[in-house]
Structure 1
Amino acid sequence: MARLQNKVAVVTGGASGIGLACVRRFAAEGAQVVGLDIGSAPADFPGLFMTLDVRDEAQVQQVMQDVISRFGRIDILVNAAGVADQGSVTQTTTANWQRVMDINLTGSMLTSKYALASMVEQRGGSIINVGSIFGLQGCDGNVAYNVSKGGINQLTRSMAIDYGYANIRVNGLCPGLIETPMTSMVRDNDAFHAFFASQHMLSRSGQPEEVANVALFLASDEASFVSGQMIAVDGGFSAGRRFAPPAQ
């Protein structure tokens, strides 16, 4: 089944984690995929890879123009580029705060800005912003990341409102604990990893492919009447807390 046949999909953060999983899933569904990342792509990357620092507006504009020149259009944009940081307000340096905001939030705005020109002209498109459960609710010692992902939610809603007239759908994904390079620091602490995973009602962490499956739905015509939504892909983490051990 080729749910994205003849679609052109651009994925930031496409060299690893959720971004790479989206690249592979979209390519398997027939899309022509362009992966963008500041790092290098794996040898088996199934599409065109281009280096991009999403903080650099001139570079973002040029890369998007190059994609449009090569493929004629952009149908799907996944903003998966992101970084994490730890610390409360008093523990977070201004430089670290700015780096997280620039990559997670401003980077998503910039790539959307220069992909939207094609989408508006063709009167259609799907933008998928990768947020976090910690954009839906807070946690301790994570202020810059939490705020950047909360901003992703409002960016998503605002763009859905502003560009709905052109049949452009904008939605967000809010993953829970997903086994990616970004969460390696969680896996390095066995006790904390087990505790964090247990707070998901499915009593486990997730895989990047499980997020990519939901991204595929949002990118496809099957989600033709879905816009402005933040969809948690979190194994039930955001459903609430349980106070008794899970049933065996």
Structure 2
Amino acid sequence: MAFAGKTVVVTGGSSGIGAALLRRFAQAGAQTASIDLLPPPDRFSDLFVACDVGTEAALQRAIATIERNLGEIDIFVSNAGVLSSQSGHAGSASDTDWARCWSVNVMAQVYAARLLLPKMIARGSGYFVTVASAAGLLNQIGDAAYSASKHAAVSFAESLAIQHAADGIGVSLVCPQYVATPLIGLSEAQAETARGLLSADEVAICVIEAVQANRFLVLPHPEVHGYAMNRARDHDAWIKGMVSLRQRAVDEFGAARPMDFYKLI
């Protein structure tokens, strides 16, 4: 797919992977729109719309604003995501946290597809990019709500790809492992020195290449493929390995915090 003249929308576009994607799409000739709760510190896009993507009516209004100003949407990138504040056992996160993970990490994609698919199908073209996580193929130790919602996001992206390929709809599912973004409190500078940590721009380059090639599964950390294959081959052995990884985190850092695991892989 060529991006010149296309309209690309990125949720969670004010920082991190979203901001990097907006820059890369713009450099490739697309006109871009950013959806986020707060505006970016710098202008990354042609249009910014403030919106809570986990609320369907708000997302409907945001998309209507974009269409009114930039025309029909060619590529919609569901990048906005949230973690939970799980502090104890796997069920310890609050109902509010579980609901927030579900609404932002899953339902925001459903809302976008519900509104855009009929228009895309009618014209025989359109593209959805789901920025999920390796947690959606594996698991994020220490955040059960996030992991469960990312598994659901992976499944919905698969449904889009399976059901609508014949309608001319493309889908890419992005499953990075650890990325230096504000979501996990890490800076771009840290990505330069940490072996298992990528920068947001490195992920954005992978996404651009995948959309150009109409490739479904995008693994910015190639090693995730091997981990997923191990899980599929012997789930019990994989669980034991994850238990050991969790214990390593507890031994080295005093707790199994999601933001520490990139140091162990």
TM-score under structure 1 length normalisation: 0.82
Q: Which residue of 2 aligns with 1:246?
A: none
For 1:114-129, what aligned pairs fall within 5 Å after superposition? 114-129=115-130
Q: Which runs of 5+ in 1 are unaligned?
A: 198-202, 243-248
Tell me: CA distance 1:91–1:156, structure 2 relative to 1, closer, same or farther (3 Å).
same
Q: Which residue of 2 aligns with 1:236?
A: 223
CA contact (8 A) 1:127 1:219 kept: no
Q: Aligned partners of 1:147 and 1:139: how far apart in 2?
A: 9
CA contact (8 A) 1:205 1:235 kept: no
Q: Aligned partners of 1:183 and 1:110: how far apart in 2?
A: 26
Q: Does 1:213 align with 2:205?
A: yes
Q: Aligned partners of 2:136 and 2:113: how far apart in 1?
A: 19
Cα deviation, 1:168-223, whole Å, max 9, x if unaligned, reads: 01121001110000111x67xx9xx9xxx5xxxxx331011111112212333x32
* Equivalent position SS for 2:175: strand
Q: Does 1:36 align with 2:61?
A: no
Tell me which amino acid in the other structure corresponds to 1:234: H
Tell me which amino acid in the other structure corresponds to 1:177: Y
Q: Aligned partners of 1:32 and 1:101: how far apart in 2?
A: 30
Cα deviation, 1:107-148, whole Å, max 9, x if unaligned, reads: 121122222233222211110001111111113221000011
TM-score under structure 2 length normalisation: 0.77
- Is 136-145 or 22-31 further displaced after alignment? 136-145
CA contact (8 A) 2:140 2:146 kept: no
CA contact (8 A) 2:7 2:72 kept: yes
Q: Aligned partners of 1:42 and 1:236: how far apart in 2?
A: 34
Cα deviation, 1:8-44, whole Å, max 9, x if unaligned, reads: 0000001111111100100010000000001222233
Q: Which residue of 2 aligns with 1:111?
A: 112
| Cα shift at 1:62 | 2.0
Q: Aligned partners of 2:158 and 2:224: how far apart in 1?
A: 22
Tell me: CA distance 1:205–1:71, structure 2 relative to 1, closer, same or farther (3 Å).
same
| Cα shift at 1:237 | 4.3
Aligned residues: 223
For 1:83-232, what aligned pairs fall within 5 Å after superposition? 83-87=82-86, 88-184=89-185, 203-220=195-212, 222-223=213-214, 226=215, 229-232=216-219
Q: Which runs of 5+ in 2 are unaligned?
A: 231-240, 242-265
Q: Aligned partners of 1:71 and 1:142: how far apart in 2?
A: 38
Tell me which amino acid in the other structure corresponds to 1:50: V
Q: Which residue of 1 aligns with 2:263?
A: none
* Equivalent position SS for 1:171: strand
State the percentage of identical aligned residues. Answer: 29
| Cα shift at 1:72 | 2.6
Q: What's the C-alpha RMSD, in Å, of the aligned pairs?
A: 2.3
Q: Which residue of 1 aligns with 2:20?
A: 21
Tell me which amino acid in the other structure corresponds to 2:29: G
Q: Aligned partners of 2:64 and 2:124: how far apart in 1?
A: 18
CA contact (8 A) 1:153 1:230 kept: no
Q: Aligned partners of 1:112 and 1:5: how far apart in 2?
A: 23
Q: Aligned partners of 2:161 and 2:95: how far apart in 1?
A: 31
* Equivalent position SS for 1:97: helix
- Is 99-108 or 37-46 further displaced after alignment? 37-46
Higher relative contact order (CA 8 A, sep 6+): 1
* Equivalent position SS for 2:58: helix
